[in-house]
């Protein structure tokens, strides 16, 4: 990976970033705790990106019309820019924690905490959203959506099974991730490539079906589509578990994001061109509907539904690990409760347990609310919370580019990195705006709750550091 003069150096040791933290300790390493190589790290990125989102979002964005395909292209450019930024930052500081580590090293404890807190919210809210999306495909195999509580129980089961795999250790997490990533590509490529042969332009529907302005429609649909690209930071967040992280994290991030983007663009275009627009808007399993339209009958749709469940389970498996890694890194620095540092077989078990409980409670709450758009509500909240650490990571890279010594940096490389980072930063701000007032409102409430937690943790650290005062 090419990088600037400052980005190729390890993070300097300081009071806030002790040198001992540069390499992740593996005191519990063993046959259940193994570091990931480039193939598994790439599978982790692709597996977390290509999860539930691609299987349900074509129906979610269909009400905006084919203008949402433009949003997909714009989103892909932004996602690749973010992937390149994460690769540069990981080469500079290959520790577990991703955006948290980069924000804290550049701007201090409070920025690092905001990155960790908002990213943690993103992981468990997105787990709830993925489980809700998976229920739609499970219903193709086993009717579960006839009653609200049956669907809720199915969503909870789909969340807890990957959590149990995580408790078994990183060895099993990596194995599940690799197998599920390979299996999911068969039906995805079937629709993405095969669907082009059944493409009918008359099924696309209107260009701008929602009545918004073109820019507004692109922004709104991109906010939903971002959920499909959550995971570009997966290898960076788990950098401490990746062999030769300075080199492999960047490669895995770019390869995984580019591969996922290609499958996304072809798959969405094929679904739009095979399923009639009015049917797609109301679909709960658009890829199954696309295969049924291509080959007739229902066997194809059933096979795709099964593959979608495998894909979503693998995605939940990877996201459950990521949900524990960021609070683990923050807890080691005293910014999260110390319980989050407990590990077993390479997995921060307390983080996994707390995350799955919170995601389960959120799932129950949303099903109890009676909303018919549980998935869309959860997706837009994750859009806002995800862009906070993304923006802080981009800002950290801007900081390093500006703070570096110009005379020691290749000018062409500096310009290239500056343009890429600027695209990633503008992209993150644009997505915040596209999330909508309701999502921003709920997301800000989540962030403000975190400020209280930070105040408590910072006060406890200050008390421990203060010298004892003798009382006469």
Q: What's the pLDDT score for residue 35?
A: 63
Residue 240 lies in a domain: yes
> Which range has highest mean pLDDT (111-125, 157-171, 300-314, 430-444)?
111-125
- Tokens (6 digits) for 137: 């495909």
Q: Which of 34-38, 75-79, 415-419 comes out lowest in average pLDDT? A: 34-38
Measured CA to CA in angstroms, residue 168 lies from 48, 182, 259, 347, 403 at distances of: 19, 21, 29, 8, 43
pLDDT in tens, 79-131: 888 888 988 888 888 777 778 889 999 999 999 899 889 988 888 888 888 88
Give the distance from CA 22 to its chain's centroid. 24
- Per-residue pLDDT band for 6 (boundaries 50, 70, 90) equals very low
The angle, 0 to 180 degrees and rounded to 10, between the axes of the packed helices 109-141 and 437-465 is 130
C-beta atoms surrounding 279 within 10 Å: 14
Share of the chain above pLDDT 70, in %: 80
Q: What's the pLDDT score for residue 382?
A: 80
Residue 199 lies in a domain: yes
The strand pairing partners of 347, in sequence order, are 344
* Better-predicted residue by pLDDT, 240 or 9: 240
Residue 410 lies in a domain: yes
The strand pairing partners of 242, in sequence order, are 36
Q: What's the pLDDT score for residue 342?
A: 84
Residue 20 lies in a domain: no
Q: What's the pLDDT score for residue 31?
A: 44
CA distance 313 to 155: 11
Span 163-179, average pLDDT: 67
Residue 277 lies in a domain: yes
Residue 141 contacts residue 292 (beta carbons within 8 Å): no
Question: How many domains does one find in the chain?
Answer: 1
Residue 48 contacts residue 257 (beta carbons within 8 Å): no
Q: Which of 410, 357, 329, 270 is nearest to 112 (CA)?
A: 329
Range of the domain at 427: 27-460
Q: Are strands 347-348 and 343-344 parallel, antiparallel or unpaired?
A: antiparallel
pLDDT over threshold 80, residue 451: yes
pLDDT over threshold 70, residue 178: no
pLDDT over threshold 70, residue 162: yes
Q: Angle at the Cα of 251 (from 193 to 380), degrees rounded to 5?
A: 65
- Per-residue pLDDT band for 207 (boundaries 50, 70, 90) equals confident
Q: What's the pLDDT score for residue 300?
A: 66
Q: Count CA within 13 A, CB hemisphere, residue 197.
A: 8
Write down the pTM of the prediction. 0.72
pLDDT in tens, 388-430: 888 999 999 999 988 876 655 677 778 888 999 999 898 888 8
Q: What's the pLDDT score for residue 468?
A: 55
Span 137-147, average pLDDT: 75
Residue 6 contacts residue 255 (beta carbons within 8 Å): no
Q: What's the pLDDT score for residue 139?
A: 80
CA distance 106 to 14: 12
Residue 311 lies in a domain: yes
Q: What's the pLDDT score for residue 18?
A: 30
Q: What's the pLDDT score for residue 7?
A: 33
Which residues have C-beta within 8 Å of that of residue 238, sequence separation ≥ 6?
36, 41, 44, 96, 98, 321, 322, 325
- Tokens (6 digits) for 392: 């802080």
Q: What's the pLDDT score for residue 26?
A: 41
C-beta atoms surrounding 125 within 10 Å: 27
Q: Which of 19-23, 55-59, 372-376, 422-426 comes out lowest in average pLDDT? A: 19-23
Q: What's the pLDDT score for residue 292?
A: 81
Q: What's the pLDDT score for residue 336?
A: 86
Residue 18 lies in a domain: no
Averaged pLDDT of the chain: 76
Diameter of the chain measured on Cα atoms:
88
CATH number at residue 306: 1.20.1740.10
- What values do phi and psi take at 264, rounded to 5? -60, -50
Span 437-455, average pLDDT: 85
Residue 17 lies in a domain: no
């Amino acid at each position: 990976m090419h990088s600037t003069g400052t980005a190729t150096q390890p993070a300097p040791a300081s009071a806030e970033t002790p040198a001992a933290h540069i390499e992740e300790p593996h005191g519990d390493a063993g046959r259940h705790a193994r570091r990931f190589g480039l193939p598994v790290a790439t599978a982790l990125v692709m597996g977390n990106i290509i999860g539930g989102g691609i299987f349900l979002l074509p129906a979610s964005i269909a009400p905006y019309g084919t203008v949402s395909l433009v949003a997909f292209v714009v989103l892909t450019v932004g996602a690749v820019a973010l992937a390149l930024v994460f690769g540069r930052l990981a080469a500079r500081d290959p520790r577990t924690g991703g955006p948290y580590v980069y924000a804290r090293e550049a701007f201090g404890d409070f920025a690092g905490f905001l990155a960790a807190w908002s990213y943690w919210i993103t992981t468990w809210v997105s787990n709830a959203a993925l489980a809700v999306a998976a229920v739609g495909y499970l219903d193709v195999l086993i009717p579960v959506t006839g009653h609200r509580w049956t669907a809720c129980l199915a969503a909870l089961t789909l969340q807890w099974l990957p959590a149990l795999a995580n408790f078994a250790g990183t060895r099993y997490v990596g194995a599940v991730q690799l197998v599920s990533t390979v299996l999911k590509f068969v039906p995805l490529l079937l629709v993405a490539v095969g669907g082009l042969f059944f493409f009918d332009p008359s099924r696309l529907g209107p260009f701008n079906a929602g009545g918004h302005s073109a820019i507004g429609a692109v922004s709104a649909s991109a906010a939903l589509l971002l959920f499909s690209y959550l995971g570009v930071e997966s290898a960076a967040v788990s950098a401490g578990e990746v062999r030769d992280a300075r080199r492999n994290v960047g490669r895995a991030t770019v390869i995984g994001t580019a591969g996922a983007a290609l499958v996304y663009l072809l798959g969405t275009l094929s679904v739009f061109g095979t399923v009639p627009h009015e049917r797609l808007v109301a679909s709960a399993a658009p890829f199954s509907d696309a295969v049924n339209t291509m080959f007739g009958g229902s066997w194809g749709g059933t096979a795709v539904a099964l593959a979608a469940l495998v894909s979503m389970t693998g995605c939940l498996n990877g996201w459950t690990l990521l949900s524990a890694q960021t609070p683990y890194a923050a807890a080691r620095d005293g910014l999260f409760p110390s319980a989050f540092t407990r590990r077993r077989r390479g997995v921060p078990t307390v983080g996994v347990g707390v995350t799955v409980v919170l995601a389960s409670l959120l799932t129950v709450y949303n099903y109890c609310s009676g909303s018919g758009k549980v998935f869309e509500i959860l997706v837009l909240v994750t859009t806002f919370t995800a862009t906070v650490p993304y923006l802080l990571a981009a800002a950290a890279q801007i900081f390093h580019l500006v703070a570096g010594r110009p005379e020691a940096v290749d000018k062409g490389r500096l310009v290239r990195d500056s343009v890429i980072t600027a695209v990633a930063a503008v992209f993150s701000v644009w997505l915040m705006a596209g999330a909508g007032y309701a999502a921003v409102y709920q997301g800000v409430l989540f962030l403000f709750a975190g400020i209280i937690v930070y105040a408590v943790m910072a006060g406890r650290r200050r008390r421990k550091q203060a010298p004892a005062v003798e009382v006469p």
